[in-house]
Amino acid sequence: MPSWEHFPHEADIGVRGRGESPDIAFEQAALGLTAVVTDPRLVRNDEQVAISCEAPDLEVLFVDWLNALIYEMMTRSLLFGRFRVTIDGLRLSAEAAGEHVDRPRHEPVVEPKGATFTELRVSRDDEGQWVAQCVIDV
C-alpha cells in the first residue's frame, strides 16, 4: 500500500514514502513534504507544475526531486497535494498539482529550507516495498 510518514530528527523532520515502485515511493514522500507544512488534505489541486531532474544515482535523484518541489513552493508560494512521478533510469519527470498558500486555511507550520543527504535512503524493504526517505531542514 502506498503510504507516507514522518520520522524524528533531533532538530528537524524526516519524510518517508513507500510504494511498489520508486515512482510511487517518491510521490508518497512528496506528500510527506507537504505535510511538514500543512495537512495535504487541505490542499486544492488547481494549479499544475511540471518538474524534471536527472542525477547520478537514485538517492541523489530523490533529494533533487524534493528540492525541486521546495523551490517551486518557495518561489511561487504554492502547496502541492497531488503528484505523478515517472522515473526512467536516472531521469525523473513529474507533475505536481496544488494551490497558492492560503495562510488562514493552511496555517503553514514551517518553511522547508532544503532536503538533505541525512538519513537518505532509496531501497526495497524486507517486504519488497520501495522506501524513499531523507531529513528535511526546516
Partner 1 sequence: MDITPLEQISEDEWRLPAVGKMRAPVIFYADRALLEGMDDKVRTQASNVATLPGIVKASYVMPDGHWGYGFPIGGVAAFDADEGGVVSAGGVGFDISCGVRCLRTGLQAGDVEPVKEQLVDALFQHIPAGLGSTGGIHLDDAEMTEMLLGGARWAIDRGWGSPGDLERIEEHGSMRGAEPKHVSAKARSRQRDEMGTLGSGNHYLEVQRVAEVFAPDVASELSIAEDDVVVSIHCGSRGLGHQIGTEYLREMAIAAADHGIDLPDRELACAPLRSEVGRRYLGAMRAGINCALANRQIITHLTREVFSDVLPKAELPLLYDVSHNTCKEEEHVVDGVRRRLFIHRKGATRAFGPGHPELPEQLRGIGQPVLIGGSMGTESWVLAGTAEGMALSFGSACHGAGRRMSRHRAKKQWRGSKLIKNLAHRGILVRSVSMRGVAEEAPGAYKDVRAVVDSADRAGLARKVARLEPMLCIKG
Q: Report the interface residues with partner 1, using CB under 8 A.
A: 6-14, 37, 56, 60, 63-64, 67, 70-71, 73-75, 77, 100-103, 106-111, 113-118, 120, 135, 137-138
Of residues 20 and 52, the one with the C-beta less far from partner 1: 52
Compute CA distances 70 → 76, 116, 126, whole Å: 10, 12, 30
> Least Å distance between CB 14 and partner 1?
8
What b/e string do you get for 82-95 counting C-beta neighbours within 10 Å, with b at 16 or more?
bbebebeeeebebe
> Least Å distance between CB 32 and partner 1?
12
Given CA atoms 108, 110, 115, 121 in this order, what sign does their dihedral have? negative
> Least Å distance between CB 20 and partner 1?
26
Of residues 24 and 61, the one with the C-beta less far from partner 1: 61
Return the C-alpha cell found at 129: 516495498
